[in-house]
Amino acid sequence: MVFAHFLMPHPPYALKTDGTCQDLAEASKNTRRDNYIGQVEFANRELLALIDRILAGPRPATILLHADEGPYPAPFVIDEPEHPVKYKKGEARPKVSKAHQREKTSILMALRHSDGKPEGDLKSAINAYPLILNHSFGAQIPLKPDRTFFFAKGNTYPNLKDITADLRPAAPVQ
């Protein structure tokens, strides 16, 4: 098993599409979106090349790709010196909306088993390793409910709230 953690795209968005690094002045001239997209394009190209090399190797491989979190919505950015969010004295940050929660908690999640079968519609990372162990090694690990948590107050772990229902699309009106 190989576990590799790639810290991109992640602020500060300094890498260009070709993988070269831009300085703070150059990054500040671009939009936050353009800097983010540059890193995503570079990361995608590198990941696809890595996956091709793995699949061309001598042994079958299970490949799991997943992010830890989505990007910070614009009003809540952190660690982005090229596009700092500035509030006037006494001005409060906007309330976190369902759209903000959806953006922050939406992640890349893809699983391809060593026999070439994809896993299907994965909704959270909680069941990724049980699915691999059940499929490839005959384990019988029961799956957990797919749930998503978000900070209720502040960024501290005791203050998490279940927002799973908030993230589901609204039922169509009949």
Q: H or E element: which one contains 132? A: helix 128-137
The answer to whether 6 touches 42, Cβ cutoff 8 Å, is no
- How many whole angstroms separate alpha carbon 57 and alpha carbon 158? 44
Q: How big is the CA angle at 131 (ends 59 and 128), to the nearest 5 degrees?
A: 95
Task: Give pLDDT tens digits along the chain (174 positions).
Answer: 777 888 778 888 888 999 999 988 898 899 988 998 999 999 999 999 999 999 999 999 999 988 888 888 888 777 677 777 777 777 777 788 888 888 888 888 889 999 988 887 787 888 999 999 999 999 999 999 988 888 777 666 677 888 888 887 665 556
The answer to whether 146 touches 164, Cβ cutoff 8 Å, is yes
The answer to whether 26 touches 53, Cβ cutoff 8 Å, is no
